[in-house]
Structure 1
């Protein structure tokens, strides 16, 4: 039995017996299913103190998984200017586009498209950036976010941002911002667009205050479950970042726009070509 298999069995034993209602969950036979069960149980877990032994084992497992990933270095990504020398974007030499899993990108900071409670996606195994980031970082990230909400005694406002440690992610920090929700069937409003622009500028403002943040990654905020149309969202993202970099004193070397599929990548590339 490998080290990972032993860790997974030990973590499942502790995690399943942590509270009433989970002790009767059937444990699958194969490693992949056991690992998915751990992720699902952590997805639904409230931010409460963890068993110290389990936390050590979980951190060890997440670090092993991090070592197994093919990590992309942010500083090695080519700039938009190198691809499109004639682009109209004044700050194209400080922008990059990358398609892939944001938890496999090593940058000084990555941005999470968070919910108003900042607690991460609690839908088990959901395929969203919020779930991916919290699952790869570990439950300490949820604890940090819960502490932020506890201190401010209110949910996070749309368009604002906070910063936390990154734990078992390859990045140095995580910025959390709540983008606007565009209900299905409703039209895009000026307020939606202003709030989305605020999410990007709020993250840039906070990150610029940290001397060790020179590379920053943005996913396509609000374009998933929050329903913001990708074309307009990308235009706001690129335009807001370009304007902020142009008008503010900063030490950023590269801002990376992260997309997960080819269709979204094409939308961004069309903007960069203009």
Structure 2
């Protein structure tokens, strides 16, 4: 049987299982179009609260997601040129990167994005890592709530490390960036710098030699893109000078053309 046919069988099976797992959408009509089926599956995964699922379902989910990533194309570290010292820029989908760690722009609840099919990086990472990721994030947050109180939320600039499950990366570092509600302040700039410093410190502590940063706090968190790029590069370059021969590669993963231009100009 062809891989495409196997993928379609996995997709149909997962749709049945995730529908049955949902009280609200267990009777949802499934269209025949395969792309619509994929959108419904992703949406059911996005809205699902963290809880156990059978080993069989997880195995099929893992096979399905692993093949989805292969279809997108896995990007090796050797595929990405070095621009300056240990620093690279790569434009594209961060979930394709086969590195030691990718950085997720998380929110303070740290459970991923619950909005079906949302375009944020948090949604993308949780979708293709698999539902085990939300479970692990929830376990860690529940432990923090025992320690710090039931209303605990992850502070800005403090990273959390998880496995990457079905992604090519080994680990995911989740971090909450500063939110710019009105004007940009020195405090917000310091918090963004701390995101990069603390993430690199976590890499050092855990033997992670390559890391891909997303554009933390830009987008819905409203941090000005150019200033964010300046802070990111300045902080990373300073850290690398202070910790020589500890990190093999730092990748700035960009999505927008404008961000790519900012990083390229700053790294000339």
Short-chain TM bin: over 0.9
Q: Distance in 1 between matches of 2:158 and 2:28?
A: 39
Q: Distance in 2 between matches of 1:20 and 1:105?
A: 35
Identify the residue that residue 221 of structure 1 maps to in structure 2. Answer: 216
Which of 69, 72, 79 is 1:69 aligned to? 72
- Range with greater deviation from structure 2 (191-200 or 249-258): 249-258
Q: CA deviation at 1:22?
A: 1.1
Q: Deviations over 1:104-156 (max 9, x none)?
A: 11111110011111111111111111111111100111111111111111211
Identify the residue that residue 243 of structure 2 maps to in structure 1. Answer: 248
Q: CA deviation at 1:249?
A: 5.3
Q: Deviations over 1:232-254 (max 9, x none)?
A: 10011001111111113552111
Q: CA deviation at 1:179?
A: 0.2
Residue 167 of structure 1 pairs with residue 162 of structure 2: no
Identify the residue that residue 153 of structure 2 maps to in structure 1. Answer: 155
The TM-score, its normalising length taken from structure 2, stands at: 0.93
Give aligned pairs, total: 259
Q: CA deviation at 1:102?
A: 0.3
Q: 5+ residue gaps in structure 1?
A: 81-91
Residue 13 of structure 1 pairs with residue 16 of structure 2: yes
Q: Distance in 1 between matches of 2:8 and 2:70?
A: 16
Q: CA deviation at 1:191?
A: 1.2
Q: Deviations over 1:140-178 (max 9, x none)?
A: 111111111111112110011011100000001100100
Q: Distance in 1 between matches of 2:85 and 2:180?
A: 32
Q: Distance in 1 between matches of 2:185 and 2:155?
A: 18
Q: 5+ residue gaps in structure 2?
A: 146-151
Which of 203, 206, 212 is 1:210 aligned to? 206
Identify the residue that residue 28 of structure 1 maps to in structure 2. Answer: 31
Identify the residue that residue 93 of structure 1 maps to in structure 2. Answer: 85
Q: Distance in 2 between matches of 1:107 and 1:127?
A: 22
Q: Deviations over 1:154-210 (max 9, x none)?
A: 211001101110000000110010001112xx1101111111111111110111112
Which of 188, 197, 201 is 2:197 aligned to? 201
